[in-house]
Amino acid sequence: MSSKTLAALCACLCITPAGARDSIPTLDEIVVTATRVPQARGEVLADVRVLGQEAIATAGQASITDLLQSQPGIEIVANGGLGQPTNVLLGGYSGSQTLVLVDGFRVGSATLGMTPLDQFLPTGFERIEVLRGAGSHLYGADAMGGVLQFFAPRGEGKPRMHASAGLGDWSTRRFDAGLRGGVDHVSFALDAGRLRSDGMDATNAKAPFGIHNPDADGFRHDHLLLSGGLALSPEHRLDLVGFRTQGRSEYDDGPGPHNTHSEVTQELLGLTLRSRLSDHWDSQLRAGLSQDDSSFFTSFGNSKYKTDQHQYAWQNDWRLGDNRVQAILDRLEQSVSGSVAYTTRERDNTGLVLSGQTQQGMHAFEVTWRHDHNSQFGDQDTGALGYAWLGLPGWRLSARLATAFRAPSFNDLYYPDDGFLVGNPNLDPEESFSREITLQGSLAGGSLRLSCHDDRVTDLILWQFDLGHGKFTPDNVNKARLTGCGIQYSGRVAGWLGRIGFDWQRAEDEATHQDLPWRSPRRLTLAAHRSFDAWELGAELTASDKRYNDAANTQRLSGYTLVTLNAAYRLAPEWRIEGRLANALNQDYELVHGYNTPERNLFVTLRYQPR
């Protein structure tokens, strides 16, 4: 860690950092993503973190990926600023190996094989849960590195309207408004917003293939989030979630005058019937449709890709004392269309999950098995086995073994031969086996977590040039080992609420013994926050060590330290003004070689929030 990093750390300790504004995580905190049902954190063995409503609401113009970047164990690889293609690395795994859900429903592109999180803004969501570590034993394909789940708000009480408007650098302006409440047996929440930004130049002269164009690359974004609930009876409830985000991002593909840009629309409509069939038996029926509609307008031509994902699930949970049993049957039907003539346009997957949890005295056990049958690659079995020792009050020592897999995307499998690229229908899924040990508990009025993991990944899919065919094509050629340890502490000291996290990792290609690109071996995150009178002040620090931009480890990216300052002042009980100064030290750094990152920038928000 450089002297600049240490200096910035000292500065942050003096000025009340802010990403820690959520409550201190405890073993009693309720989470959903780890087991697909609401449970106290102390009852689950997986690593789950929560970003709450306050942290989301005060993110300013920041994207979801900006918000995640300040969290332990999460790295961001961005090809430019707001709205540019972004990859989220969760525990060393890539974005294509991380599943993204909205209220339990998949969203994303089946052609690309991942979710365009650069098109997501945090506004409107009630909370975000981050499950780090294998999750395929519960959710099926793609949850190798973990799960990001976004939760829509639930309205209650007298209907209330809220609104906010903000302005910032690069002529960035944002407006959001919503209405939440409940009447009799009906609850509802509606949030809508718009963001416009002239943007910064996404690339610089070092960009590969001569794609740099010295212009501003703007971003437009509109979103709508709707949730509702109807209590049919004391035992039955019907919930609805609707989600739509539409973004237009300009980018560079050469110095010419052509206005290259992408237009991406994400949509979701989902229904869930929740039933309490007895004091010990809960059941859920779910049905939903998510769509990804992406169009690209380039100097070389235009293209369009569309994904439809029909999703169905029947989930049953039984409780008897400290024992829990779960059975889930789910089905996923994917289809693609657009300007590319894929050799196969449809596939489906049926999954069965059986899970059990029990606690006997100071010992807790968890076992889960899942079987998937996929119309493309056949059968796949995954599982997880966990144990926890609860011998010390407020503490838990746990160990966990799990397997996971990622299904090849439609591009990997079925991309038609265009003379330059061709898919490979004989690909196998990527697979992983992970081991993790964790110590978590209460210390000095706060929460401490120590964890280490060792993951082996096989059959990694790599696109490479095939001399025999004279084209780029994918194959299962690589193996990787992801190892690491992390420590996080959240606590309150003399009125200050803060957290600190340090991660060490090694992400290695086992064939070449080189580091995987963009993975930092050491990373520090720090945040704190305090409210007094009408003021809230705070900051966040993220420090990342040097890492490589290429698989051969010949192109090194320098380490960096980012500091974000926050301030809010309550003008009246229902009005407040907020300011967010990102990259306060004006750090010059790159996340990808040849692509720019935002310099120091300010965003100011006026918010109306009835109490």
pLDDT tens digit sequence for 246-296: 999 999 988 877 789 999 999 999 999 999 999 999 999 999 999 999 999
Q: What's the pLDDT tens digit per position in 92-137?
A: 999 999 999 999 999 999 999 999 999 888 888 999 999 999 999 9
Q: What is the reported pLDDT for 352?
A: 98
Q: What is the mean pLDDT of the chain?
A: 91
Q: What is the reported pLDDT for 15?
A: 34
- In terms of pLDDT, which residue wins out, 262 or 321? 262
Find the helix or strand (DSSP H, E) in which 90 lies: strand 86-90
Three-state DSSP at 320 gives strand
**Of the candidate ranges 58-62, 211-215, 452-456, the one whose mean pLDDT is the lowest:** 58-62
Q: What is the reported pLDDT for 60?
A: 61
327: β partners: 316, 354
Is 516 in contact with 527 (CB distance < 8 Å)? no
Q: What's the pLDDT tens digit per position in 215-242?
A: 999 999 999 999 999 999 999 999 999 9
For residue 521, what are its two tokens? 């071996």
Q: What is the reported pLDDT for 606?
A: 97
**Of the candidate ranges 3-7, 129-133, 394-398, the one whose mean pLDDT is the lowest:** 3-7
> Which residues lie below 8 Å from residue 572, measured CB to CB, with a gap of 6+?
none
User: Phi and psi (nearest 5°) for 408?
Assistant: -60, 145
Residue 609 confidence (pLDDT) above 80: yes
Q: What's the pLDDT tens digit per position in 422-478?
A: 999 999 999 999 999 999 998 888 899 999 999 999 999 988 887 777 889 999 988
- In terms of pLDDT, which residue wins out, 400 or 254? 400
Task: Return the CATH architecture of domain 3-608.
Answer: Beta Barrel (2.40)
How many of the other CB atoms lie within 10 Å of CB of 302? 9
- Pairing, β 261-278 against β 281-298: antiparallel
Q: What is the reported pLDDT for 232?
A: 97
| Dihedral sign from CA coordinates of 72, 76, 82, 85 | negative
For residue 411, what are its two tokens? 């591009």
